[in-house]
Chain A
Amino acid sequence: MRIGRYILAAVLLMGLALAQKTITIKAWTIGPDDPSITRLKNLEAAVDRLNALLEIEKADYRVKLEGDFDTTDWDPYLRRVLLAFQSGEAPDIVQASAAPLIGVWATAGYIAPITAETHKYGTFRDVFPTLWKAVTFKGDVYGVPQDTEARPLYFNKTLLKKLGWSEAKIAELPKLIERGEFTWDDMLAVAKEALDKGVIERGKGYYHRPKNGPDFHMWYRAFGGTSYDEATGKLVFDQEAALRYFTWLKKAVDAGVLEKDRLDGSWNRFHENVTSGKVLFFSGGTWNWAEWKTQWVKDKGGEDWLWENFGFAPQPAYKKGGKPITLSNPQAYMVSANSKHKELAVKVLAFAMMPDLDARHAVGSGHLPVLRATASLTGDRFIREVSYLLNYTTFAPQHPDFPKWQDALYRGVSAVESGQVSPEEAVRVVAAEMKRALKDQVVIK
């Protein structure tokens, strides 16, 4: 009799086990910086927590995450995502820059609107409202904000001291920049002085990123340019502002402050020179701080070395009294249109929107949190001190053709910097390329 009962129990258990489904959710994420691995790890943690809850609820399914974290570069990653979208094999969740990719992919029909689903979960309510704006396209929400950042102008305090600046003067610099009293031209003058006095090597007065990216749009705006007209929904190219920007670049190259071949494509060389303390001013991202801390100055004292040597401020204004700026390029998790488990995917994302996970990513990768509750949770000095930059932040316009605008501007920058054309000629070339690529979608001013 007893044996019979055992057999019955075993059969019942097996039946339960068989009845329980495992649903696989696929997710593709990218850094490309190594410390941003939490973009994937947070999803894994979310799935664990969701499964724990399903266990308690005795639900008939469990979730399995098949995740991937890319550390190569945006170009190959986006190509992979695009080909996956086109072949209908895209993962359920894709992480990428909210603007302008949400505009691009929503227009193409690759990602699904999830407005209704996002209202279902309380965890989404704590996300900063401006970030919801960044993931909304034509009135629909197409993604869940993952993180945001700011792009500061860093300066090397040790080199400024060598130049004769007092501690007080150095501490004052970010405030001067905020008030618009220290402009791009002032920065150029300081760097030139450092070069003349032998404090820095030629070309190492100012560094910017070594390849195409969202920052060039930011600098164009720092020089007074606008890129989007809300009223008409069209892109804008302001030739005067572009000329100011390009002229500054040429002056910087001619003065020996900026390398003629700064756009050499090598991030390693950028980090190497910056963290060996050779570069006076350099524009970067908040996430660079985490990269430097964990990869580049680890042996020299880690974050303490960074605090001792580097300071940060917004990108300066171009004229006295002007407004400094920075740019945020929020990342978002999107749900692909061909996903068979859209609702479940959003549920996983809701479990990823937890302050502890948000904090873990922010502190570990040098990005800024997306939840209001997180800020009070982390005691991290960098996050605390750098967050004020968001007061000066701007976003890329959510226009599906904005990538073409960005490409054209970048060509102009590379042409001027390498000395191949004059700033005036570069403005003409960029305007012509924008007209060709964007037709009636751009207004040339």
Chain B
Amino acid sequence: MRRYLTPLLFLSPATLLILLFFFTPVVATILLSFTDLSTTTFKNPSWVGLRNYQDLLADPFLKKIFFNTVKYVALTLTFNVGMGLLLALLTSLVPQRIGDPARALWLLPRILPPVVYVFIWQGILAEAPMGLVSDILGVSKNWLVAAPWTVVILANGFVGASFGMLIFTSAIRAISRELFYAAAVDGATTWQTIRRVVLPMLAWPILFVTAYQTLSLLTSFEYILLLTDGGPGFYTTEVWSLRAYHLALSNYFGNVEFGLGAAMAAVLVVIGVVVSLFYLKIFNFKALVSEPKIEIN
């Protein structure tokens, strides 16, 4: 027992936080999802078992929302990881005095408050004479309404890309110089160096960024909420988490369904866990954390 005491002591703060901020909400959400809690039943909710889940299955809009979510996560993720990688490589290839300010610039969308950031997007995309895009292209359109998916993905992507960029840059910096010298001595081109030296060393950060971003995209909806609120039109950009939010907390006429919203959120938790396991499997997590076969110092 004694030998576990110190590790347990060190683990306890993190464990406590996870219990408090992850485990408890999950349990609460799952419990809520078995009730009919809504505006009208708030004072006397009743236990309805799986009815909310049956309701979800009967929802004629659910299929559309599910595929919207897949589309949103897949496209934004591709942009985030791809752009992050590209930015990291480009800013690492150029001298540091140019690379560093370029990276700092890409951090701007992330440090702006979302409301301000979205406000700028809306301004840029408005109809002429206010909108920049309409002015430049000479076609006066509300571009946010004309191409909602492109905007949603780019607006999210510009924020998300900087995350990958930072992680990948630090990973590239951590690659031992000797490997680059060795590649140069062997006559490798820049592309070959990237392909054969840099990218293999980035496998773990790429797994981390992909997994992390998938999960955060699955649950994030604030930029969509502010940009399109799931519209324009018929659930055009409504994703799973936004729908859960709309059901549980937002209704023009003031009648919200907490129980049903919680059921949607609970499904999202399950999807999140499944996706994480899938990532760990395809990226061969065990091999990544095993003892290195060679030691480079």
Q: List chain A positions with a Cβ less than 8 A from chain B.
A: 74-75, 78-79, 81-82, 85-86, 96, 100-101, 104-105, 107-109, 211-213, 260-261, 263-266, 269, 400-404, 406-407, 411, 414-415, 417-418, 420-421, 428-429, 432-433, 435-437
Chain A residues closer than 8 Å to B142, beta-carbon distance: 261, 264, 266, 269
Shortest distance from the beta carbon of A120 to any chain B beta carbon, whole Å:
29
Binary A-proximity of B121-154 (CB < 8 A = 1, otherwise 0): 0000001000000000000001011100000000
| B250 CB–A CB distance under 8 Å | yes
B60 pairs with A433, CB closer than 8 A: yes
Bound together, the chains give a CA A415 to CA B55 distance in angstroms of 21
Contact indicator A403/B251 (Cβ below 8 Å)? yes
A404 and B255 in contact, given A261-B142, A264-B145, A436-B60 (Cβ under 8 angstroms): yes
Whether A400 lies near B233 (C-beta < 8 A) is: no
- Cβ-defined partner of A104 (8 Å) among B40, B58, B228, B234: B40
- Is the CB–CB distance between A104 and B255 below 8 Å? yes
> With A96-B254, A108-B43, A261-B146 given, is the CB distance from A436 to B55 under 8 Å?
yes
- How many residues on chain B are close to A (CB under 8 Å)? 31
Q: Is B232 part of the contact surface with A, judged by Cβ < 8 Å? A: yes
- Nearest residue (CB) in B for A96 is B254
- Known interface pairs A108-B43, A269-B142; A263-B233 also in contact (CB < 8 Å): yes
A261 contacts B145, CB within 8 Å?
yes
With A261-B232, A263-B232, A264-B231 as contacts: A429 and B61 at CB distance below 8 Å: yes
Contact across chains for B250 and A432 when beta carbons are under 8 A apart:
no
23 contacting pairs across A/B (C-beta < 8 A): A74-B252, A75-B252, A78-B254, A79-B250, A82-B39, A82-B254, A109-B43, A211-B252, A261-B142, A261-B232, A263-B232, A264-B231, A266-B142, A403-B254, A404-B255, A407-B252, A414-B235, A418-B232, A418-B233, A418-B234, A433-B59, A436-B59, A437-B55
Which residue of chain B is the closest to A82 with respect to CB atoms? B39
- Residue of B41, B59, B255 contacting most chain A CB atoms (<10 Å): B255
Asked if residues A75 and B234 are in contact (CB atoms below 8 Å), the reply is no
Q: Report the 7 A-B pairs with minimum CB-CB distance, sorted nearest first.
A: A418-B233, A403-B253, A403-B255, A415-B234, A78-B254, A414-B234, A432-B60
B249 at the binding interface (Cβ < 8 Å):
yes
Measured in the bound complex, the distance between the Cα atoms of B255 and A406 in whole Å is 11
A263 to B61, CA, bound (A): 18
Bound CA–CA A271/B42 (angstroms): 38
Q: Which of A104, A108, A213, A415 makes the CB contact (< 8 A) with B233? A: A415
Select one of B41, B60, B146, B229 contacting A265, CB under 8 A: B229
B251 x A78 contact (CB < 8 A):
yes
**Cβ contacts under 8 Å, B256 to chain A:** 79, 82
CB distance from B10 to the nearest CB of A (A): 38
Interface residue? B220 (CB, 8 A): no
- A86, A213, A418: the one within 8 Å of B42 (CB): A86
Q: Which residues of A contact B193 (CB under 8 A)?
A: none
Q: How far is the CB of A11 from chain B (nearest CB, A)?
A: 50
A418 vs B228: C-alpha distance in the bound complex, in angstroms? Answer: 14
For window 229-262 of chain B, which residues contact chain A by CB distance below 8 Å? 229, 231-236, 249-256
* Binding site secondary structure of chain A: helix
- Beta-carbon nearest neighbor of A400 in chain B: B40
Q: Which residue of B lies closest to A103 (CB)?
A: B40
Residues of chain A contacted by B40 (CB below 8 angstroms): 104, 107-108, 400-401
B100 to chain A, nearest CB (A): 40
Q: Which one of A107, A401, A403, A417 has the greatest number of beta carbons of chain B within 10 Å?
A: A403
- If A400-B40, A429-B61 touch, whether A213 touches B252 (CB-CB below 8 Å) is yes
A86–B233 Cα distance when bound, in Å, is 32
Residues of B within 8 A of A261 (CB): 142, 145-146, 232-233
A400 vs B255: C-alpha distance when bound (angstroms): 8
CB distance from B255 to the nearest CB of A (A): 4
Q: How far is the CB of B263 from chain A (nearest CB, A)?
A: 13
Question: Which residue of A has the minimal Cβ distance to B127?
Answer: A269
Q: Which of B24-76 contact A (CB under 8 A)?
A: 39-43, 55, 58-61
Query: Which A residues touch B229, using CB under 8 A?
Result: 265
Asked if B231 contacts A263 (CB within 8 A), the reply is: yes
Known: A401-B255, A407-B253, A418-B233. A108 touches B228 (CB 8 A): no
Question: Which residues on B sit within 8 Å (CB–CB) of A213?
Answer: 252
Q: Which chain A residue lies CB-closest to B227?
A: A265
Instruction: Name the interface residues of B129-186: CB closer than 8 Å to any CB of A.
Output: 142, 144-146
Q: How far is the CA of A104 from the CA of B38 in the complex (A)?
A: 10
Which B residue's beta carbon lies closest to that of A266? B142
Contact B43 A402 (CB under 8 A): no
**How far apart sit A79 and B146, CA to CA, in the bound complex (Å)?**
30
Kindly state the separation between the CA atoms of A136 and B220 in the bound complex, as whole angstroms. 41
- Which B residue's beta carbon lies closest to that of A416? B234
Measured CB to CB, the closest approach of chain A to B130, in angstroms, equals 10
State in angstroms the CA–CA spacing of A148 and B61 once bound together.
35
Provide the bound-state CA to CA distance between A109 and B40, in Å: 8
Interface centre among B253, B254, B256, by most chain A C-beta atoms within 10 angstroms, is B253
Q: How far is the CA of A260 from the CA of B249 in the complex (A)?
A: 28
Neighbouring B residues of A404 by C-beta, 8 Å: 255
Measured between C-beta atoms, what is the minimum distance from B158 to chain A in Å? Answer: 22
Q: Whose C-beta in chain A lies nearest to the C-beta of B58?
A: A436
Complex Cα gap A269–B128 (Å): 12
Smallest Cβ distance from A112 to chain B, in angstroms?
14
**Chain B residues with CB below 8 A from A81, complex form:** 254
State in angstroms the CA–CA spacing of A67 and B39 once bound together: 24
Contacts of A414 in B (CB 8 A): 231, 233-235
Q: In the complex, are the beta carbons of A265 and B61 less than 8 A apart? A: no
A104 and B254 contacting across the interface, CB-CB below 8 Å: yes
Bound form: Cα–Cα A432–B57 in Å:
12
Which residues does chain B contribute within 8 Å of A265, judged by CB atoms?
A: 228-229, 231-232
A234 to B115, CA, bound (A): 42
* Known A78-B251, A101-B254, A265-B229; contact A411-B39, beta-carbon cutoff 8 A: no
| CB-contacts of B242-297 with A (<8 A) | 249-256
Chain B: minimal CB distance from A431 (Å): 9
Partner of A402, one of B60, B127, B231, B253: B253
Q: Which residue of B lies closest to A431 (CB)?
A: B60
Q: Which residues of chain B come closer than 8 Å to A403, judged between CB atoms?
A: 251-255
* A406 CA / B40 CA spacing, docked (Å): 16
